[in-house]
Structure 1
Amino acid sequence: MAARRIHVICGAPTHDTGYVRVELLTALQRHEDAWVTVGDDFSDIAKIVAADAIVAYTCNVSPDAAALDALEAFLDRGGRLFAMHATNALIRFTDGPPIVAQGIAIPGQVDTTDTNPRFTRLLGSRFLAHLLLAPMQVDIAAPDHPLVAGIAPFAVEDEPYVLELTAPAQVLLTARFSGSNPGYVLSDWPDPVDRVQMYLRPHGKGSVLYLALGHSSGRHDFQPLMEEGPVTRGPWEAPGFRQVLDRAVAWAVGADGQ
């Protein structure tokens, strides 16, 4: 197999991107043909243009028009984009009043109005809100698909993510939950319905794989909102999540045979 250029973009405020970066690089280096570069955001156009695959773990990182042109061209020619967790989250705080959510003092509610629809259309979804970190069961929505075939439903501790699909996609994983989080403008999710946690969608000759699971935060990652917080590894310690992650990385590298 020829070398596969993989560009990892890992930069997510309020998340332990140091930990996640190491975990993603470790998973990638199990594949000898993965030729990996690393960045914090989407600004390195040359790396995007050169890539065969991109692995993104970001939060509130909004690519500009030049980066979006490069990402669209990358997908149109057959590139694979594996995006995780909060990559589709574009957020701002309202003007108040200040509130405390999950022990964190924030200046106002989190507003997830779509400020970059071109980006969220490319990804195939946008982030609406998440509930507080909690145990949840992840179910297999497409048991015959190679990315999840043979994986049993599994439990994780994670932020239950509520996404809105912005393009047709094949749903691979779901989780059923309901609840509220007063930290968000869109705070109430009272109906216990199956909510998308992983999907695959085509774009040109390429494709986008999105996995909403993946929260991790270190002791100092919530500064300046919070001086110190608990260290959370969430789903990264769950065997089922690791199975899904390994398959997603193999898919990105092209080691899945597809």
Structure 2
Amino acid sequence: MSGEGSKGGPIRVHLIVGAPTHDTNYVRLELLKALHENPHVCVTIGDDFSDVGKIAAAQALVVYSCNVSPDDAQLDALEEFVEGGGRLFAMHATNALIRFTDGPPIIAQGIEIPGQVDTTDTNPRFTRLLGSRFLAHLLLGPMHVEVTETGSGLLSGLAAFDVVDEPYVVELTGPAEVLLTARFGGRNPGYVLSDWPEADYPQMYLRGQGRGEVLYLNLGHSSGRYDFLPLMDEGPASRGPWETDGFRAVLRRSLDWVTRA
């Protein structure tokens, strides 16, 4: 990665990693290592959106979360950051705000959950800022990802690639340039919205808001053997796409983009 902060000073990045059922320690470490390839980057760390002072002081935000819903004051800070010209790079389940329905437990891919996963939008202001809301994902498995970007140049020259990941279905909440897609279809009985026809689903997009921009990448699942506590004593460990060159190339481009804020 290249670039410097204003007048040759540090590039201030606030990194938020807080995702139940994901290996947040691994993801945090990998993102920190990648960010610090740029000697001008200075990183602060949080596991939610509560430190609005660090959000306001940042030039770039990188977020990997799941079921973390900012309150109104935190949304004020996030919107002010983006609309004032900041760049936000969000990953994987950041747009996932979930609840469990009443009913019998559901077992999917060896994981027992207390009911079906309900992804009703409980924070429309947040999902509008991100540009999408999470609807469901199919079970972890092979995915072929196509590069579709045309105008931004962010992924220019990258070829299609294969990963092992959770095929994500999201609903775009506003205009966006879709940069990656994956074609799939199937069923995951763990979700209220369980059945998905075969189609091309967005996996990465770029959108503007005010003077700033939001880049969102659905890919990025990682879980360790104890990350599913208390749902189960030990769960399936997976590095997902993190061990593939195609995903790493997209990640490098994304972090380079956000640190040029």
Structure 1 and Structure 2 fold alike (TM over 0.5): yes
- How many Å apart are 1:230 and its aligned residue? 2.4
Aligned partners of 1:243, 1:29: CA distance in 2, in Å?
A: 16
Residue 133 of structure 1 is matched in structure 2 by 140
Aligned partners of 2:89, 2:60: CA distance in 1, in Å?
A: 8
1:152 pairs with one of 149, 154, 159:
159
Aligned partners of 2:61, 2:159: CA distance in 1, in Å?
A: 27
Q: With structure 2 as the length reference, what TM-score do the two structures score?
A: 0.96
Residue 34 of structure 1 is matched in structure 2 by 41
Residue 14 of structure 1 is matched in structure 2 by 21
2:246 pairs with one of 212, 232, 240:
240
Letter of the 2:232 partner, please give it: M
Letter of the 1:57 partner, please give it: Y
Aligned partners of 1:97, 1:231: CA distance in 2, in Å?
A: 25
In structure 1, stretches of 5+ residues that fail to align are none
- How many Å apart are 1:145 and its aligned residue? 3.7
Residue 74 of structure 2 is matched in structure 1 by 67
Answering whether residue 237 of structure 2 is matched by residue 199 of structure 1, we say: no
**SS of equivalent residue, structure 1 residue 54:** strand
1:102 pairs with one of 109, 122, 128:
109
Letter of the 1:223 partner, please give it: L
- Number of aligned residues: 254
- RMSD across aligned positions (CA): 1.0
In structure 2, stretches of 5+ residues that fail to align are none
2:255 pairs with one of 249, 254, 257:
249
Answering whether residue 90 of structure 2 is matched by residue 48 of structure 1, we say: no
Identity of aligned residues (%): 69
**SS of equivalent residue, structure 2 residue 125:** helix
- Cα deviations across residues 8-31 of structure 1 (Å, max 9, x unaligned)? 000000000000000000010001
Answering whether residue 184 of structure 2 is matched by residue 142 of structure 1, we say: no
Residue 216 of structure 1 is matched in structure 2 by 222
Q: Equivalent residues in 2 for 1:172-191 (5 A)?
A: 172-189=179-196, 191=197
Aligned partners of 1:235, 1:109: CA distance in 2, in Å?
A: 26
- How many Å apart are 1:76 and its aligned residue? 1.1
Residue 227 of structure 1 is matched in structure 2 by 233
Aligned partners of 1:246, 1:96: CA distance in 2, in Å?
A: 43
**SS of equivalent residue, structure 2 residue 220:** coil
Residue 93 of structure 2 is matched in structure 1 by 86
Aligned partners of 2:226, 2:187: CA distance in 1, in Å?
A: 26
- Cα deviations across residues 87-130 of structure 1 (Å, max 9, x unaligned)? 00000100112111111111100000000000000000000000
**SS of equivalent residue, structure 1 residue 60:** coil
Moved over 3 A (4+): none
Letter of the 1:74 partner, please give it: F
- How many Å apart are 1:143 and its aligned residue? 5.1
